[in-house]
Every structure is written in structure tokens, then in C-alpha cells.
Structure 1
């Protein structure tokens, strides 16, 4: 069974599973989910904890020893296995499958790491462990879900933001939930009555949102002009290398052009299935495929080339205006005054 991190406390109150697979890209949710499982396990009598990293130096005999059947007077054990950024190789995957077969009620297993790929979700080790327990998804809430996430956090702290304050809290802390937690704790101290307005927020807080090139690209795919420009301005202010943005966008546009060609011979849903496109990305690709023609996409590639040449050869001329032009043309092509492209 799969649940989102915010549903984990309620699940732990109902039942303690044998295995918890905790994966995602949000450090705050990963940390809180691990702490919640460990706390619940200790309350249930799991007093001994062991931690291992699934790297090449791991001695699997130590892990298997922890899973041996316990005597009447032995302590129940928590085993934490951290999956490194490099993922799990074939040998480690085989050992995890074997580990799943050795689990017993006196052992609670926590496997955690960064966001899973589709290949990892379909791996034998993941399926073997998943059938024994719970998969906890710790993904950063997107901009649509973030206000509800903020509202829930405020409710726990007896904070009562009005509609404008709630929206501002979400915007100011997008991509930086650790800062959100700190800001809410500060607001609790500053305003004991819990009432939050836009004026109070502006007096108490600074912006803490954190954007990545992926936020920018997703906004471009969706055609959100204002949001993509806002993200672009912040990335520029933070000193992000333009070439990182260009490479990230180039990869996505290459896929979009391929999809555009193949749409001439197959339905969109079938095309997404063929390329195993994530469900969360399908609305974004659908939006740009409906919005732009092949001619407009090819022009975007020419602008990308122009921006890359400026980045690598013209040190006295900034590529950011060209990147801003790309942003506008991809979002609202019919309303943009097209500038000549020379490469």
C-alpha cells in the first residue's frame, strides 16, 4: 500500500507494519516520516536500532544477523537501511529480496532514500519488501497542493491564516519546506492569537522560496507565463548558471518534438504509454503539445542555440534576455513580438 507522508501518523495509530519504504525528494518529509515510524516502533517495544548504508562496503551478514529469531528476553529491533543516490545494484537487490524472506514480527525494517525511478519501483527487491508493509511517498507538494499542505501545518499549530496569507505562505516557501516550518514556529511566537494576515506576514517574514531549473521547465511546459518569469528572475538572482537551464530545457523540448511528430500516427494516451511518461508529467506535455506548433518548437531550439553561444563566447553580453524571450514564446507564443534569431 502507498500513502503520502501526511497520512502516515494516522496509519501508525491504526497499525504498525513490518516494513516501511520511505522515499522522496523532500528532506523535511523524509526526516519526519522516519522519526514518526521510529517513535511508534519504540512505543511498541522495539528498543534496539541498527543503521546501515546500502553501499559497496556493507557487510550483509550483519544485516541478516539482526533478523535472526529472537529469544524470549531479547529486544525487538529496528533496522534502518539507507539507499544511496547511486541506487541499488544487482547484488544489493538480490540481498534485499533474501532479507524480505527472513523478516519476522520482532524486526521492523525501514528502507529510505531519494525519489524512486520507475525502474526501481518495478524492481524485485522493492516489490518483495512492499508486500510486507507500507510505501510512504515523501515528494515535495506541487504548487497546487502546497496551500493545503500549509493549511494543515497551520492547523496543528493553531495558526489561522486568511486566504491571502495562506497563498503568500505557499508562494514564499515553495520548494523549501524546512524554511516553512521555521517561519510557522516564528509566527506562533510573534502572534499568540494565531491570526495571520498579509500585513503580519510581510512584517515578520522574508521570502524563503527555493526554485530549481525543473520548476522553471514545468512552468514552461504548462504555459504559465507569470510563474515561469518569476522563477526565472529568482534563478538569475541566485546566480544559477544559464547553461544548466538551457540543458534542462533542451532535454525536455527534444522529447516534446519527438512526441509532436509521433502524434501524427497515434493517439496521445497511447504515445504516453509507449514512452512510459509519468502520470504527473502527462498534463504538462499535453499542454505544450496542444499549444505549440512544430515551427514554434523549432524556433525555441534556435533561441536555445543563440543563448548557449552567448553563454560560452560572449562574456560581455548576458544570455538572460534571450532565455526570458524563450520563456515568453513557449508560454504565450501568439502574443509575443518575435525577435530575429541569428546563430
Structure 2
């Protein structure tokens, strides 16, 4: 199976059009653009009909199978887009997909789209059966470190010229919101036909449309980035995030760090990560956190989290946000504010 990132898809399509495409990821813009890109290329090769079906418990599989069997001298070439359920595939649906594979032919191009590619999905029979002839396109929202590269490539494809300052400014205002970022670049290209984007030109069109999850906040605190942690928490409060969810996310991370810290003298860090099934991409972050954070800081963080949880259960009018901010600052290496643990 060929594996690509969304920004590599167009170049691959210029080489050849595949028979099957898997589009997986959490980024709606990249999923939609990848889908459109494939269909546009297929259109140029006489795939004139495009069918989209969202799979669920009521899906008419007989109609899908009939569509695949319609192959005659006068039948049009078709693309078939199957959108997988957000909550995952049930076994009967996997069996139907396996049956569908036996009906595929050269006049039918299959596109399978889903939000998350899990290991169990990759190990399923229908997925393995399609893998030999499939192209997997990863449509993942770029992380903060990768976003500037995405912006630069996007601007280049639109014949826009911008310097590092403009690029970083756009990344700051639109982190984790690619749709808004793409829209502002489109708007700037219309306002300034010469394509030169300077900071004075860009500033007037910007809105702080960044979007964050509780996991972004946890990672910022664990990494010791206090300004970023404060900004993310402010965004989460504005977006009416659930404080209890933020607290649970931080509890899991801090308790895990405390467990690692207690066992470092006896067990190598790599083995601890393996034992607790820590993802490879999180290991560098946690390793640095373990080097930076002391037992005292982690214990104080646990005490503050206990205080916050008890307060939440006993007082429904309790304002949690200042203590969540104190918790993040504590993990960033700041002194716990006076009275943070007072009732």
C-alpha cells in the first residue's frame, strides 16, 4: 500500500490514478480537498458519475452491490465514496465490505473515508484485502511545529509571497483551524492581487480563530510552556470546555509521570514506556518532563488536583479556571500561588 500525506496527493495523482483510496484523519478540510482532488482527476479519465454513501446500521448494501454490478458497454465509469461511521465499524459491516471488494472492477474507483485509522481497522480482513491496490492518504491537522510548513506550501500554491514573520503570525492566529486559515489566505489573495503579504497588510484581516483541545493544554503544561498553557486555557474557557474533562486529562498525565519518577531508579525509562504502552511520539515529551519536574512539584500538583476535584463536587458555583491555571503554572515550574489550596 502506498502511504501519503494530503499535500503529496496531487503530485501522485499527476503520475497515475489508483483504483482505491483510503482517506483517514481528523482534519475536515484535508479530507474534503483530498476527496475533491481524486474525483477531479477521475473526471479527467471519464469517471463521470460520483456516488457518496455514509455507512450506518440502515445502509442498503443490496443497492451498493447492484451499483457495482452495473457494468455494460453503455455504463458510465463511477467513483464510489464510502464514509465510515465515526464510532467505528461493527463486524457485520466489515463482512459487507469484504463482499463488496469481490465486485470491484476497473470502471469503479473506490474511496473509503474515515476519521481515525486504528490498528484494529488496519488488521481487518477487508482493509488488508484492499491494501495491495490502495493509496492511503493521511489527512491530519498539522501540529504547531509543522504548521508553518503547511502555510508556506499553501501560500506558494496560491502564488502568494510571505516572510517568516507573516507565516508565524498566521500560525498563531489560526492554529488547529485549517479551514479558517485557508479562507484568510484566499481573502488576502483577492485583496492583494500582487500576492505580496506583509505584516501591515495581513494584520487588518486577522481574527484569533485558533482552536485547542484539553490535550493541547496538558502537553503545553507538561512541556513547561507557561505562556502557551495560559493561552490555550483561555481559549478553552471561551469555548465553554468542560473543566472536569481538563482535570481528568491532567490527572492521567501527572499520575503517570509520578509513577515513572518513582520507578526510574530500578527500571530503564524505555522499559517503563513499553510497560505502560506510551506512544512513540509522546516519549520525548515525557522524558523531558521527567528530567525537569521534581517529586515535590508532582506531589503538589496531585494535591492541587485533589483540592479542585473536591471543590467541584461540594460547590457547584465553584470557579475552577484560576486553579486550573495555577495547576498548569505549577507544572511549568512556577511557585504555587498563595491560597491556591485554601477552601
**TM-score (norm. length: structure 1):** 0.91
CA distance in 1, matches of 2:312, 2:142: 33
- Any stretches of 5+ residues in structure 2 without a counterpart? none
Aligned position for 2:190: 189
Aligned to 1:336: 335
Closer/same/farther in 2, CA of residues 48 and 191 from structure 1, 3 Å limit: closer
Does the CA-based 8 Å contact 1:69-1:104 persist in structure 2? Answer: no
Secondary structure of the equivalent of 1:74?
A: coil
Counterparts of 1:165 and 1:217 in 2: how far apart (Å)? 28
> SS of the counterpart of 2:280?
coil
- Distance between the aligned counterparts of 1:265 and 1:104, measured in 2? 58
Equivalences for 1:297-316 in 2 at 5 Å?
Answer: 297-315=298-316
> 2: distance between equivalents of 1:134 and 1:269?
33
Partner of 1:108: 109
Q: Render the CA deviation track for 1:270-329: whole Å, top value 9, x for unaligned.
A: 443444433332222223233224443232222112223333433554222211111012
Change (3 A) 1:126 1:263: farther
Q: Which moved more, 1:318-327 or 1:198-207?
A: 198-207
2:143 is the alignment partner of 1:117: no
Deviates further, 34-43 or 117-126: 117-126
C-alpha change, 1:317 and 1:86, in structure 2 (3 Å) is: closer
Residues 1:126 and 1:257: Cα distance change in structure 2 (over 3 Å): farther
**Gaps in structure 1 of 5+ consecutive residues:** none
Shift in Å, 1:112: 0.4
Q: What is the 5 A alignment of 1:187-336?
A: 187-261=188-262, 263-315=264-316, 317-332=318-333, 335-336=334-335
Aligned to 1:77, the other structure's residue is in SS state strand
How far, CA to CA, are the matches of 2:126 and 2:299 in structure 1? 43
* Cα distance in structure 2, aligned partners of 1:25 and 1:311: 32
SS at the partner of 1:164? helix
- CA 1:300–1:89: 2 relative to 1, 3 Å: same
Which is further off, 70-79 or 247-256? 247-256
- Cα 1:219–1:128, aligned 2, differ >3 Å: closer, same or farther? farther
Per-residue Cα deviation, 1:67-90 (whole angstroms, up to 9, x for no partner): 337223322221111111111011
